[in-house]
Amino acid sequence: MQLSLTFVTALLLASGAVFASPVDTKTGTTPIELQRRAQLVASDGKLNVSALHHHFQGVENKYKTALNNYKRNTGKNHPLAKQSNTKRATGDVSLEDIEHEQLWAGDVTFGGQTFAIDFDTGSADTLANPGAYNPSRSSNSKNTHRSFYTSYGDGTNAQGTIYTDSFSIGGLNARDVAIGRSSNSFIGGENDNQGISGLAFPSIQSFPKQYPPFFESLRQQRAVSQGVFQFTLKAGGGSSLHLGGIDSSKYSGSISYADVDSSQGFWITDATVNGERITAIVDSGSTIISGPSDQVRSVVSNINGVREVNQGGQTLYVYDCSQTPHVTINIAGKSFTLSRDQTRYGTYDGQCVLPIAPVDGMPLNGWILGDTLFRSASVIFDVDRSRIGFANQA
């Protein structure tokens, strides 16, 4: 049976998926390297279950904070909140994974001080350890006399004062960009990752609205050609964050887009995992795929050869390492089937661990698509058009 072009186009529009071949904008970009912090998977391949559990606690608290911020900023509960919880240019950042594909960080400069920072599409503020940024060393710093408090999990929190200062990343520059200087070290080590920078929408930011996220400042000051950024994350080297446009050398084929509602703060879209429909948040600051327990168990129960184990309060799904479980994510109309390596998130008790886990304490009714998805696709975040795109990595 043959379908007319008009009919096919109508189907694509109805599904919310749009395919495009953007103009190559890689000219004049600059890479920023990222560094890895503590390991979730040891050098012998064994998964540190305790560290994974700690990570998920941090993710839970991150989203609790974000949902509270959303309610404060908008005056209403987030649509996904559980009822119980009320110069024009482009820039490239070379990324290196931290904590075995858990955290992705690169160098930024505030007030002439350069330090490594996590890039997190699941939050919206820029925060730094006290040893990373010192406003007294900058002639451009301004004390806003506004404070902030953010909880990350296991009692870890960042609290301190919001400053504005000159900002540079990948050859892009902006003035009066907001940064929260924490009075306590809340992330990383002395010489490792020393801050976090959010790339979500302003409605979930902790800072007052006059101090927007750094990428919004770049957009407002016309420091970028387009309000677009692109993550291409790979195990090992070659990972990058491209700011202000799309680097066509990072992907093959076409990009498939899905609309997002920027007023909701997160990068949320519909997706399926092995054919089961989910609501997904695309989050570069999280690791494996996670979601509500009942939904995760429904998906995993239909994957051959996978069984559930519990260790230290953390549920894992394990399988014989000689097998490759079938996991396909369909998002924005494009399917990504996890490779043999991508289905293995270390080992536990001699068996391979599936990169999907239930998280009971999450305050929202949605899945978190973290590093596992990012290592399968080149992901384009289009702020200007409120959409998110996915393409096969080159």
Query: Distance between the two ends of the chain, CA-based, in angstroms?
Result: 33
Q: Which residue has the tokens 């009692």?
A: 155
* Active-site residue, selected from the candidate residues 107, 247, 283, 371: 283
Residue of 120, 125, 165, 371 marked catalytic: 120
Query: Do you know the residue count of the chain?
Result: 394
CB-based contact 93:242 (threshold 8 Å): yes
Of 110, 296, 106, 301, nearest to 217 (Cα)? 110
CB within 8 Å of 48: residues ≥ 6 apart = 39, 40, 41, 42, 346
C-alpha–C-alpha distance, residues 339 and 325, integer Å: 9
Cα–Cα distances in angstroms (integers) from residue 304 to residues 299, 326, 380, in the given order: 11, 8, 32
Contacts 24+ apart (CB under 8 A), 226-230: 226/25, 226/90, 226/382, 226/384, 227/382, 227/383, 227/384, 228/380, 228/381, 228/382, 228/383, 228/384, 229/199, 229/380, 229/381, 229/383, 230/378, 230/379, 230/380, 230/381
In contact, 260 and 380? CB cutoff 8 Å: no
283 carries an active-site annotation: yes
The residues, ordered by sequence, that sit 6+ positions from 297 with a Cβ below 8 Å of its Cβ are: 308, 358
Buried b (16+ CB within 10 A) or exposed e, 211-229: bbbbbbbbbebebbbbbbb
To the query of whether residue 360 is one of the catalytic residues in this protein, the response is: no
Left if phi > 0, otherwise alpha if psi is -120 to 50, otherwise beta: which for 112?
left
CA distance 256 to 380: 9
Which of these, 182, 185, 175, 169, lies nearest to 141 by C-alpha position?
A: 175
Q: How far apart are CA 248 and CA 255, in angstroms?
A: 10
Question: Residue 16 contacts by C-beta under 8 Å, 6 or more apart in sequence?
Answer: 258, 259, 269, 270, 332, 333
Q: Please give the positions annotated as active site.
A: 120, 283
